[in-house]
Structure 1
Amino acid sequence: MAEEKSLAEIQREVDRYISQFKEGYFSPLALVARMVEEVGELAREVNHRYGEKPKKPDEAENSVELELGDILFITICFANSLGIDLTKAHDQVLEKFNTRDADRWTKKHTE
C-alpha cells in the first residue's frame, strides 16, 4: 500500500513535475478552462455509471477515480501557479463550515 502523502507534499510533487518543462504552469484562465473540461469529463463518467445514459460501445473505459484525480491535479496546478497553500485554504474552508454552517445539518449522535 502506498504511503499517505500530505497535501503540501502533493503540491510540491506537482511543482517538481511542472518545473521540468519550459512552459511551466498555464495561465489562470487556461487552468480554469482545463478545470471546466475535466469537471465535464467527470460529469459524463458519473452519468454513464450512475445515470440513465449508457456508454456507446466504442467509448473508452474510464473511471470516476481517474476523473477526480485529473481535477485534483488541475486544482493543484492552479493553486501552485498562484502561490496558494491548499492546506491553509482547506483549513479556512473547514473553519467556515464549522462556524457558519454549525447548525445547518442534522448531526449524528453517538452514544
Structure 2
Amino acid sequence: MHLRRLQEEVARWIEATPQGYWLPLANLARLVEEVGELARALNVQHGAKPLKPGEKPPDLEQEMGDVLFTLLVLANQSGVDLERSLTDTIARYDRRAPAGRRILEP
C-alpha cells in the first residue's frame, strides 16, 4: 500500500499553500460535500437521476479523487495513519469472512 506516501504528498501540498490546513470541522464539511457530489455522480451513472438540459455528466473518477484527497487531509491533521487504519479494517473484515474470502494474506 502507498497511502502513507499519499498522505505525505498531500501534507507537502497543503503546507505550501498560504492558508495551510482548514479547521477540522471545515474539512469535515468539505468531505461531506465531496461525498454528496460522488453520490450524485453515481446516481446519474447508475440510478434514476437525469441530467439537466446541457449539463455535462459528472466524472466519477474525479469525484472519488476529491473524496480521497479530502480524507487524506483530515487524516493528516488528525494524526491518523490511513495505511494502518485500512489494514486494520481489512483484517477485521477478514476475521468475519467465510473461509476462502480473505482479502489480506496472513
User: Normalising TM by the smaller chain, what interval?
Assistant: 0.7 to 0.9
Specify every segment of 5 or more residues in structure 1 that has no aligned partner in the other structure, as ranges.
none
Amino acid corresponding to residue 76 of structure 2 in structure 1: N
Residue 19 of structure 2 corresponds to residue 23 of structure 1? yes
* Structure 2 match to 1:44: 40
Q: How do 1:1-111 residues align onto structure 2 when only pairs under 5 Å count?
A: 6-99=2-95, 101-103=96-98, 107=101
Report the CA distance between 1:21 and its aligned residue.
1.8
Change (3 A) 1:12 1:53: same
Instruction: Find the aligned partners of 2:18 and 2:26 in 1 and give their Cα distance.
Output: 17
**Matched-pair identity in %:** 41
Report the CA distance between 1:62 and its aligned residue.
2.3
SS in 2 for 1:18: helix
Specify every segment of 5 or more residues in structure 2 that has no aligned partner in the other structure, as ranges.
102-106
Displaced runs of 4 or more, over 4 A? none
Q: Write the deviation string for residues 57-95 of structure 1: whole angstroms up to 9, x where unpaired.
A: 232342111000000000000000111111111111111
Instruction: Find the aligned partners of 2:100 and 2:59 in 1 and give their Cα distance.
Output: 32
The total of aligned residue pairs comes to 102
